Amino acid sequence: MKNQSISDTLKLIKSKKISIKELSNNYINEINKNKDLNAFIYFNEEKILERAEKLDNMKEDLPLKGIPLGIKDLFCTKNMPTTAGSKILSNFQPTYESFVTKKLLNSGALFLGKTNLDEFAMGSSTTTSFFGNTINPVSSENKKLVPGGSSGGSAAAVAANLCLGATGTDTGGSIRQPASFCGVIGMKPTYGLCSRWGIIAFSSSLDQAGIFANNIQDASILMYEMAGYDPNDSTSSNVEIPKYHDNLNSNVDGKIIGIPEEYSLPGISDEINQVWDKAIKVFEKGGAKIKKIKLPHTKYALPAYYIIAPAEASSNLARYDGVKYGFRSENISSLEEMYELTRSEGFGKEVKRRILIGTYVLSAGYYDAYYIKAQKVRKLISNDFRDAFKECDFILTPTTPSPAFPIGEKEDDPIKMYLNDIFTVPASLAGLPGISIPYGTSKEGLPLGVQILSKHFNEQEIFNAGYYLEQNNE
């Protein structure tokens, strides 16, 4: 099946060249053919066709009418189970729809199913899911690669053309890193642009919904439909959302592109630097000015993130105790045992590690030394970006320090796994918007992405710069 764009698909539907039901059947076939990727962990053909028929019979014209999407299984959905990739929520059926998915449904989108993820979105490989790992579609027959994570199912689904777009969430890189590994576009907007209401919480001060797509236009259409103010999320921003897709403009003449010297890490492979250099040269060709900038506290970003995110996770995950919903251990003889066994049987290894770290850094005596210190570092990192954006319009960096790695690698060394986020975490701590755009390949032919960051709520400029790169990708 050909990889269509959203606007082309909408045209086909509107002109009745294809019905939404036929289109859905095409995608159902693709998903069935690619079951071994394990991109979707929930998928119900009957429900898809029911919705397709309803949309086909609807007179009203809607901006995403019939567009098939994948939904990361961290968004609560009223008509589909929501598991967060965890045993502890393996039987959970929400009674409500998340704000973001509700917006997409109201715009006429057709949800094909729920996509796989690292358990509770903690990870960079989609190997910690209770429902098994996802395989990166760029893998070869004898070398199976991770799709990145935590939104690996969504990235793989878009890359394998199992849907036209997919939602993700990004706390420290979970959209941008898998987008880079799978060769698709991944956009994390400014913290507060998309409501967190109904998204299962990992680290509330960092979690942000975003999108995977095949091209900038599709990404900008979907982002516009997802964004918006929600009084149910106290950190939701009441800002005007421009129609990004109508305003796409690939002119970068005169723009100043910041290149942070701290992102030239010793030991980073040549292939990463080559792709970065290629993007720099292409921007220069378009009349952009390149400026070396400093983000002096970059090296403290990862340690600060791995204190703040687990601290918030330990608090957010306290609610999974077997009382009201989710999995409950069967071997219990007392209330205390119910809590203990439910949590020790229901959570996987990585989630337990985060809860332990988070509880430790929040405990009396360590709170000031770790948690408060990390919050201070977070402020310094935000200040670095604030100062940098006085001198430049965008910041351009690699998205990841390596291409996709084989399944099973880095599994026994959490620090190695955490290093995947080295280029994505700083912007997350500062709440900035960022995109990953596929922009080259490794020596082995694996996709590599570049990351563009800009000021808060400057999504339009990011899409424009991405649009330019997309059109100038030799």
Min dist CB 202 to ligand GLN, Å, is 6
395, β-bridge pairs: 258, 453
Min dist CB 116 to ligand GLN, Å, is 13
Q: Which of 21, 24, 65, 72 is catalytic?
A: 72
Q: Which of 150, 151, 154, 203 is catalytic?
A: 150
CB of 170 or CB of 384, closer to ligand GLN? 170
Q: Where are the alpha helices (DSSP H) in 34-65?
A: 45-57
Please name the helix (run of DSSP H) or strand (run of DSSP E) that holds residue 451, with its range, or none. Answer: strand 447-453
174 catalytic, yes or no?
A: yes
**Helix/strand/coil percentages in the chain, nearest 5:** 40, 15, 45
Min dist CB 346 to ligand GLN, Å, is 19
- Among 73, 119, 170, 312, the residue binding ligand GLN under the rule CB under 6 A is 170
Min dist CB 421 to ligand GLN, Å, is 5
CA atoms within 13 A on the CB side of 403: 26
Q: Closest residue (Cβ) to ligand GLN?
A: 174
Q: Which residues, numbered 400-439, are part of the site for ligand GLN (CB under 6 A)?
A: 421
Q: Between the CA of residue 277 and those of 127, 223, 390, what are the distances in Å?
A: 32, 28, 23
Q: Which of 124, 174, 314, 402 is catalytic?
A: 174
169, β-bridge pairs: 209
Q: Which residues are within 8 A (CB) of 387 and not within 5 positions of it... i.e. 6 or more apart?
A: none
Residue 462 as a binder of ligand GLN (CB under 6 A): the answer is no
Residue 82 as a binder of ligand GLN (CB under 6 A): the answer is no
Do the beta carbons of residue 303 and residue 277 sit within 8 Å?
no
Do the beta carbons of residue 261 and residue 384 sit within 8 Å?
no
72 catalytic, yes or no?
A: yes
315 catalytic, yes or no?
A: no
Q: Which residues, numbered 106-135, are part of the site for ligand GLN (CB under 6 A)?
A: 121-124
Q: What DSSP line would sit under 206-227, residue for residue?
A: T-EEEEEESSHHHHHHHHHHH-
CA atoms within 13 A on the CB side of 157: 38
CB of 24 or CB of 151, closer to ligand GLN? 151
Q: What DSSP line would sit under 315-359, residue for residue?
A: HHGGG-SSSSSS---SS-SSHHHHHHHHHHHHS-HHHHHHHHHHH
How many whole angstroms separate alpha carbon 128 and alpha carbon 283? Answer: 38
- Among 172, 186, 198, 260, the residue binding ligand GLN under the rule CB under 6 A is 172
Which structure tokens are listed for 407? 């399944």
Q: Between the CA of residue 100 and those of 41, 121, 245, what are the distances in Å?
A: 20, 17, 19
Residue 317 as a binder of ligand GLN (CB under 6 A): the answer is no
- Among 165, 173, 192, 346, the residue binding ligand GLN under the rule CB under 6 A is 173
How many whole angstroms separate alpha carbon 451 and alpha carbon 302? Answer: 17
Min dist CB 257 to ligand GLN, Å, is 25
Stretch that binds ligand GLN, among 43-51, 62-70, 166-174, 230-238 (CB under 6 A): 166-174
Residue 150 as a binder of ligand GLN (CB under 6 A): the answer is yes
Which structure tokens are listed for 184? 């698709």
Stretch that binds ligand GLN, among 11-19, 168-176, 291-299, 462-470 (CB under 6 A): 168-176
CB of 207 or CB of 470, closer to ligand GLN? 207
Min dist CB 364 to ligand GLN, Å, is 25
Residue 148 as a binder of ligand GLN (CB under 6 A): the answer is no
- String marking each residue 184-223 x if it binds ligand GLN according to CB under 6 A: ------------------x---------------------
Site for ligand GLN, rule CB under 6 A: 121-124, 150, 170-174, 202, 309, 421
- So which residues are the catalytic ones? 72, 150, 174
